[in-house]
């Protein structure tokens, strides 16, 4: 005999209304905005509770599920078609970059429960990180400061700081060595 599956929303009525309003703002204002209107898009996100630092550059074709679950530091860039599936908290540190098609997924389901309840483990991307094109970062993952996740890699466990990590699942392959930059 199987346990019946309940179809109960994990969202309160207020959250459902906020999500509906955000969907409309996203479709009619965020997405059609001019490509370099970063300040306007940041303002819209802050209006919906996102915590953003200064000089945040989010492209208009970024898909953002729940803005109030975003904490983004200073000088962060997020490329076209990236997905911030922020069912849980997503934190992105200062000077980090998410390339096009990167996918941060802060939501999953409890596969041990026959009702598959929603889980919302947070994702933390450290400072000075690069999540390269088409990389996937799963729920509950922390990427250490100064790390790089290679293109098309999939991250299902925490990665240490200062490493270049690639593969499926992503593994550290070598330290990230930085050149000194001369100033004129």
R_g of the chain, CA atoms, integer Å: 18
**Distance between CA atoms of 17 and 168, rounded to whole angstroms?**
37
pTM higher than 0.75, yes or no?
yes
- Is the pLDDT assigned to residue 112 strictly greater than 70? yes
Query: Stretch 16-39: mean pLDDT, rounded?
Result: 97
Residue 159 DSSP code = B
Coil vs helix vs strand at 171: strand
Percent of the chain whose pLDDT exceeds 70: 95
- Domains of the chain with CATH codes: 13-175 (2.160.10.10)
| Entry field: residues in the chain | 184
- 8 pLDDT band, cuts 50/70/90, is confident
- 128 pLDDT band, cuts 50/70/90, is very high
């Amino acid at each position: 005999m199987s346990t019946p599956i309940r179809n109960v929303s994990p969202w309160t009525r207020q959250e459902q209304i906020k999500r509906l309003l955000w969907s409309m703002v996203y479709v009619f204002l965020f997405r059609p905005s001019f490509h370099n209107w970063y300040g306007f898009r940041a303002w819209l996100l802050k209006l919906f509770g996102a915590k953003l630092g200064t000089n945040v550059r989010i492209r208009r074709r970024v898909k953002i599920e729940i803005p109030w679950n975003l904490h983004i530091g200073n000088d962060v860039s997020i490329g076209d078609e990236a997905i911030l599936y922020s069912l849980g908290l997503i934190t992105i540190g200062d000077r980090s970059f998410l390339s096009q098609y990167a996918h941060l997924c802060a939501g999953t389901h409890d596969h041990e429960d026959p009702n598959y309840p929603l889980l919302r483990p947070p994702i933390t991307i450290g400072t000075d990180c690069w999540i390269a094109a088409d990389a996937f970062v799963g729920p509950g993952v922390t990427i250490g400061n100064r790390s790089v996740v290679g293109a098309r890699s999939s991250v299902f466990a925490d990665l240490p700081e200062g490493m270049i990590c690639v593969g499926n699942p992503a593994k550290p392959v070598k330290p990230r060595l930085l050149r000194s930059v001369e100033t004129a």
